[in-house]
Copies of this chain bind each other. A is one copy, B any other.
Amino acid sequence: MSQTPDQTTAWVAVDWGTTHMRLWRMATDGTVLGCQSCNKGMGQIEPHAYEGILLDMLADHLPPSAALDVVVCGMAGSRQGWAEAPYAPTPCAPPSIEQATLVPTDDPRLRVHILPGVKQVDPIDVMRGEETQIRGVTARMPDYDGVICLPGTHTKWVRIKQGQIGEFATFMSGELFTVIGQHSVLRHSVGTSGWDRDAFRTACQGATDDATFLMRSLFGLRAGSLLADLSPEAARATLSGLLLGAELAAARSFWGDRDVTIVGESTLSQAYGDALALQGMTPQMMDDEETTLNGLRDAYAQLLES
């Protein structure tokens, strides 16, 4: 006897970011039946293209009649995305499915919920996608009282207490590493691969201890490669360490006296873990993809309860 699709795929979880999207087909009990991803992110596609992409990816798994719930987080909910899901203001719990934007679709077999991002008025800041990862953390640790660090192009540091998002701050260190390494004069000195862990640690420690160290040290990477045979690998690790150290100096009010949980992909999380270890911290590490999925699972569970 052949399976009918709606017996297998109970709902769909989607993380739709700026450059990529990832989709999980989920069973009723929360197990993953299949996972697909593509590079059709918010930055690459027009609003009318989203539905077609979902239909293509779910072609063999759509229910014959009833609508399949699709729970989406990330930049698909921005003004330039599929449909705007307005930001929830802090302090707040990670936005729930009740606050989601229900997106009209041409195909009645889809029922798409886009989860909102979170905004902070002062200092002004926004997140979109990370709030769902935060939900993934608090779903696993409801009593967590500490800080979540979400490393990435734009790293977020977020205070959490009793399941609520308190103050948060965004740092552009990751993107600065890319644009300085690729577009400034340092592109001649900084390698595109390789790593020198000692160089990273020395730079990171220096920049965490003294917030002026980054600005004083950047051109030294160029001078060092001109005059002192500084290797491209050491220059790359030093640039990363300077930026991450400057971030830690600026984010001290977040990590200085609280438990820290890092949610991110392994290489970048490891660098943050290294940087915090130099300050005597022992952060807890969580995988970002698993945590995103746990956040989407928790949002869907709410839908069943409502």
Contacts and interface: CB of A to CB of B under 8 A. Distances in A.
A219 B124 CA distance: 9
Given A179-B183, A227-B124, A172 B212 contact: no
A219 B223 CA distance: 29
A286 interface: no
Interface residues of A, number: 46
A250 B184 contact: no
A44 to B, nearest CB: 15
Contacts of A219: 125, 154, 170-172
Contacts of A251: 216
A125 B230 CA distance: 13
A167 to B, nearest CB: 12
* Most B C-beta atoms less than 10 A away, residue of A87, A170, A219: A219
A211 B87 CA distance: 31
B125 A170 contact: no
Interface of A: 79, 87, 119, 123-126, 153-154, 169-173, 175-176, 179-180, 182-186, 210-220, 222-224, 226-228, 246-247, 249-252
30 contacts: A119-B223, A123-B216, A123-B217, A123-B220, A124-B224, A124-B228, A125-B219, A125-B220, A126-B222, A126-B223, A126-B227, A171-B215, A171-B218, A171-B219, A172-B184, A172-B186, A172-B219, A173-B215, A175-B184, A176-B180, A176-B184, A179-B183, A182-B183, A211-B211, A211-B215, A212-B252, A213-B250, A214-B215, A214-B250, A215-B247
